[in-house]
Structure 1
Amino acid sequence: MPQYRPPLRDMQFVLHELIRVTDAFKEMPAHAETDVETVNAVLEEAGKFAAEVVFPLNQAGDRAGCTLDPVTHEVRTPPGYREAYRQYVDGGWASLSCDTAHGGQGLPQTVNQCLYEMLNSASQAWTMYPGLSHGAYECLHAHGTPEQKATYLPRLTSGEWTGTMCLTESHCGTDLGLLRTKAEPLPDGSWRLTGNKIFISAGEHDMAANIVHLVLARLPDAPAGSRGISLFVVPKFRVRADGSLGERNAIHCGGLEHKMGIHGNATAQMVLDGAVGTLVGEPHKGLQAMFVMMNAARLGVGMQSLGLTEVAYQNAVAYARERQQMRSLTGPKAPELPADPILVHPDVRKMLLTARAYAEGGRALCVHTALLLDQELHHPDEDVRRAAADEVALLTPIVKAFLTDNGWIATSHCMQVFGGHGYIAEWGMEQYVRDARINMIYEGTNTIQSLDLLGRKVLGDNGRKLKAFGRRITEFAEDAGVREDMQEFINPLADLGDKVSKLTLELGMKGMGSADEVGAAAVDYLRVVGHLVFAYLWARMAMVALDRQAEGDAFYTAKLHTARFYFAKLLPETAGLIRSARAGASPLMAMDATLF
């Protein structure tokens, strides 16, 4: 049976020793009182909830899945899901980082992200229900009318209601400019929506009293393409003036998708048959409003894969300590046993260390990005807010794509550690692999994230955001580079930073001749920049560990070993990626389409 232990020690290391989040909180009036003790106490309780309440549902929920009543269109979630969600709401977890003006606790996003890492380790499928609600909350908080905020935000904050985002249609996924759902005006200023949406996570369920759907649709006079999209809030049950629930709205689940993974989450086909909704933001500018939720979702998907990487690693290590197979190549390491534990074998260690390095590097990146979000929202200095927003924009596609690619690699490696048992459902590893695979696809495929990074976030502003991040790396390298014990980390970091600058300039020049050159290089480029970000964070983690290794704490010894592994065995991947990116579009585009 799988096991899970919340990684509180490493979270505390990242929060308090690496990034020193509470020092940053002191500069933000909204979070100035959030101290180390508060953060640790919240995360300790969050870890207990994740491990003791949610984690036991993961395998059973995967086996049971969701069921749809074709007559009532109601969906039943797996046994225990509703009860766990009620405990989640009663415990105040839904309101953790929400605005106090709407009943929230007002804690930093940074703390909330750590909660979500643990929940995703416990059960990604279950966590998607409250996770999507938080995105809906953020969207309405930023763009809702005063009436919409008063109606929906207190109940999304408390968790009494949940939320979704309804974007995709059967003929269009990422290309939302093709969507056909229509919105027609009603005399009272509301709108009547007609259309069909697919792949709507948590689109219908029995866990909350109401579901708040955020729906993209077209007005009658909408221009073609993405510039003609508007956003609407469409509740499952219409809401009366006094806030009570009224009649069932004309939106229902027409079917559930049969999927490779995340079986416990209802991936619904939603039918809008004259459903009544209200406009969010300005007409024809729905994508701008929805991007608040989409970007939150992209960061959340990265967190999903981080959670899966961590729990898969924990179980693979536990198995490798116990499973006996052959003798070490350098002689018996456990002569009292009939064979050595497989942890002695070099390639088993390589797979385990890959997962560990990606988990710990991903945790550092997610906390770093979450703190930037807090600064963007709450720092009193406008320049700091602007710089934080720029860096969040740069890092969002990396968090989504790099962490989910790494999660797929790591969960596959961890399943491999189990050998044949990894392929058997009772051990739980094959579920982590299945669940991890969707994360590379939804909320904008990783190719879309790569095009966003290279085409919009880097070349789109002549490298301004990337250069700003590069200056951060340069300053760190200059400060730490005088230390002899840091050379093994600083030298490859500085070298990769120089190579990224040259590659970016080269791709920018090629892209002026043909946009296909950008498309051909984008996926390789994102992975290279992802490694640059990881290398920077791992070098910083190594420096903290070096400074504290004399204390004799094995934690810092392990952190240094993992850092050295990352630089020696994972970072060199960038050499092949850079060569591939430079190969250009010709090897991809030269062959005539009829030859495929």
Structure 2
Amino acid sequence: MPSYKAPVEDVLFILNDVLGFQRQSNLKGFADASPDVVEAVLTEGAKLAEEVLAPLNAVGDREGCTRQADGSVTTPKGYRAGYDAYAKGGWMGLSVPEEFGGQGLPHTLNTAIQEFASGANLALSMYPGLTQGAMAALLVHGSDEQKATYLPKMVEGAWTGTMNLTEPHCGTDLGLLKTKAVPNGDGSYSLTGTKIFISAGEHDLSENIVHLVIARIEGAPAGTKGISLFVVPKFLVNPDGSLGARNGVSCGSIEHKMGIHGNSTCVMNYDGATGWLVGQENRGLNAMFVMMNEARLAVGVQGLGQSEVAYQNAVAYAKDRLQGRALTGAKAPDKAADPIIVHPDVRRTLMGIRAFNEAARALMLWTALQADIGHRSEDAAERQRAEDHMGLMTPVVKAVLTDKGFANAVEAQQMFGGHGYIEEWGMSQFVRDARIAMIYEGANGIQAMDLIGRKLPKDGGRAMMGFLAEVQTFVKDHGEDEGLKPFVGPLQAGLNDLQGATMWFMQNAFSKPDNAGAGATDYLHLLGLVALGYMWARIAKAALASQAEAASDRMADKLVVGRFFMERMLPETALRLVRIKAGSETTMALAAEAF
């Protein structure tokens, strides 16, 4: 049976020593997040993940969800109790404003808890995760009445939330959607259409499900300019807040998926369902993007969560499994063979996963902190810098953490040899569950195109120039620091490759857009590598400062892992640059019939 231990100690180190979390105490909600409160929140969240969610992971994978004859859906055994523990512990509203029943704490803390939950049980964690995304959209774009009607119950966990975008003929290109909304004359609308791939679309965990649905109002413009967003509850809500009649929305079927079996991924049928407009008419994508961006960052966290749990179990197995002898002589002469962790290639694999996980966690928390600053700071310039960071890094966090999260789950599975292919060992589930994160909330190729086509040139490239300047300033300020030289030199080389790739696109993509398309994924990963390298440089700085105060094996180990990243992983930026500069000629040369 696989196990999971939440990385509380590492999160605390990143928040306190690397990111200076407490320096933001002037922001709303941060004053309440004192060091002892932060540690208590993370400790309790870890307990929930380890003791409640993780034991249900394999159960959910084996049993899956079942659609009943009446269209209702039954979740796996124990899921209701696990969800109730999450809701009753107040985790749903950790960062929601207090006026709606939340705790108003920083979103950064909620992000850390999301990692714990998704590492322990990805499928189950999606139910509250989607609810939090729906709440975020309502907080920004919902009317006062909608907020008062839905948010307190969602914070309580009595009601859950979903997002409904995809249709059978319409995924990335939402302008093709056919779901229509007809005004009822009383301020409500009647929605008709079919949505597919709707995570948590129907289940038995909550009293009501609040669907956020995009549709086209009759007579609206074609394409994305005519899309509106609606709130469509499973059960209509009476004026006194009690639940009324069943709405015209139902689960037509459950998708049979590769992984995340414990989450009900539904085909949802809207048959004249009553809904209410959220935000402005024909401005639905603006409102939905709040939820989508929340979801994209949360999906990046899922990639990290699966990478971490797969790593933990691979390490435990590598320390226990006896096979062969060390190349330098027996390390366990009293045993028939040495544990496989003595072998360099096993070490290379495990070090690569760990080096990624620690830097990815820092990048994730840094980005979450910028979200808090962007939403809570009273300084306009500070908010702008934070929003620039969020815009630039959202596709990177989503795509890089999920691409690598899946790859790392496969690498961890490899450590088990044939046992990794046997279901009872649990590694297969991590691989299967991790795979979806590369696809949903915008497939990773789309994230790369979003980065190149929209985020990079936005505001004259201000966000990218700000990131490059920040990293360059760090390199310049610490170039003579002896302890940081193993980090600063490789970081400068990676930064040079990133600058070179950016300049190449500027010179070659406008006249030939296919050059941008062909190099987009490599550029996204190049930027991701430099961002992770920058995180390692900052981690190393904090670790060295900690070492100066008191010797610590843990900090010494961090420095070794960081040097591994700089020596063996960051140099991949050079390969990415070569691929980008190859352009699109051979990529686009074959006629479609030749494939």
Normalised by the length of structure 2, the TM-score is 0.99
Q: Distance in 2 between matches of 1:543 and 1:483?
A: 10
Deviations 1:96-133 (A, max 9, x none): 11111101111100111111100011100000000000
Q: Does structure 2 conserve the Cα–Cα contact (< 8 Å) formed by 1:459 and 1:508?
A: no
CA contact (8 A) 1:18 1:540 kept: yes
Aligned to 1:357: 355
Which has the larger displacement, 304-313 or 206-215?
304-313
Computed over aligned residues only, the root mean square deviation of the Cα atoms, in angstroms, reads 1.0
Q: Which aligned pairs between 1:1-12 and structure 2 lie closer than 5 A? A: 1-12=1-12
User: Counterpart in 1 of 2:38?
Assistant: 39
1:276 and 1:420 mapped to 2: Cα distance? 53
Aligned equivalent of 2:20: 20
Matches within 5 A, 1:46-61: 46-61=45-60
- Any residues of structure 2 matched to 1:148-547 within 5 Å, and which? 148-547=146-545
Q: Counterpart in 1 of 2:556?
A: 557
Between the aligned partners of 2:341 and 2:557, the Cα distance in structure 1 is: 15
Contact 2:388 2:462 survives alignment (8 Å): no
5+ unaligned residues in a row in structure 1: which ranges?
none
Determine the structure 2 residue equivalent to 1:105: 103
Asked if the contact 1:136/1:293 (under 8 Å) is kept, the reply is: yes
Which amino acid is the alignment partner of residue 249 of structure 2? Answer: I
Deviation, structure 1 residue 210: 0.3
Deviations along 1:510-568, one digit per CA (max 9) or x if unpaired, are 11112211111100000000001001000111122223335232111110111011111
Name the SS for the 1:264 alignment partner: coil
- Deviation at residue 499 of structure 1 after TM alignment: 2.0
1:242 offset after TM fit, Å?
0.8
CA distance in 2, matches of 1:153, 1:223: 31
2 CA distance for matches of 1:573 and 1:504?
16
Q: Deviations over 1:316-339 (max 9, x none)?
A: 101100100000111111111110
Which amino acid in the other structure matches residue 229 of structure 2?
L
Partners of 2:407 and 2:324 in 1: CA distance: 26
Residues 521, 581 of structure 1: 8 Å contact kept: yes
Contact 2:306-2:406 within 8 A present in 1 as well: no
- CA deviation digits over 1:445-484, x for unaligned, max 9? 0011101111111134332101101111112112211212
Partner deviation per Cα, 1:203-223 (whole Å, 9 max, x = no partner):
000000000000000011111
- Secondary structure of 2:6's counterpart equals coil
SS of 2:292 mapped into structure 1:
helix
Instruction: Assess if the C-alpha contact under 8 Å between 2:478 and 2:484 holds in 1.
Output: yes
Q: CA separation in 1, counterparts of 2:397 and 2:451?
A: 11
Residue type at the aligned position of 2:265: T
Superposed CA deviations along residues 169-227 of structure 1, whole A, max 9, x for unmatched, are: 01111110111000000021100000000000000000000000000000111111111
Separation (CA, whole Å) in 1 of partners of 2:22 and 2:215: 42
CA distance in 1 between counterparts of 2:53 and 2:28 reads 34
Q: Would the aligned equivalents of 1:261 and 1:431 in 2 still touch at CA under 8 Å?
A: yes
The answer to whether the 8 A contact 2:497-2:574 is kept is: no
Q: Which runs of 4+ in 1 moved over 4 A?
A: none
Contact map agreement 2:167 2:196 (CA 8 A) in 1: yes
Partner of 1:93, secondary structure, is: coil
Q: Is the 8 A contact 2:159 2:210 kept in 1?
A: yes
Q: Could you tell me whether the CA contact under 8 Å between 2:497 and 2:573 is conserved in 1?
A: no
Amino acid at match of 1:369: T
C-alpha distance in 2 between matches for 1:7 and 1:592: 50
Does the aligned pair in 2 maintain the 1:73–1:254 contact within 8 Å? yes
Aligned partner letter, 2:410 = S
Alpha carbons 2:300, 2:401 under 8 Å: kept = yes
Once residues 276 and 87 of structure 2 are traced to their aligned partners in structure 1, the CA distance between those partners, rounded to angstroms, is 27
Secondary structure at 2:96 match in 1: coil
Check whether the contact 2:179–2:215 (CA below 8 A) recurs between aligned residues: yes
* Matched letter for residue 567 of structure 1: M
- Distance (whole Å) between structure 2 residues aligned to residue 29 and residue 180 of structure 1: 42
The TM-score, its normalising length taken from structure 1, stands at 0.98
Q: CA deviation at 1:498?
A: 2.1
Displacement after TM superposition at 1:575 (Å): 1.5
Q: What is the letter of the counterpart of residue 286 of structure 1?
A: G
Q: Is the 8 A contact 2:196 2:268 kept in 1?
A: yes
Distance 2:486 2:357 in 1: 21
Please give the per-residue CA displacement for 1:235-260, whole angstroms capped at 9, x wherever unaligned: 00011111110010000000000000
Specify the code of the residue in structure 2 equivalent to 1:280.
V
Higher mean C-alpha displacement, 5-14 vs 264-273? 5-14
Alpha-carbon distance in 1 for matches of 2:152, 2:449:
37
Residues in 1 aligned to 2:187 and 2:28: alpha-carbon distance in whole angstroms? 39
Identity percentage of aligned residues: 51
Letter matched to residue 364 of structure 2: C
Q: Is the Cα contact below 8 Å between 2:254 and 2:266 reproduced in 1? A: yes
Deviates more, 1:54-63 or 1:584-593: 584-593
SS at match of 1:336: coil
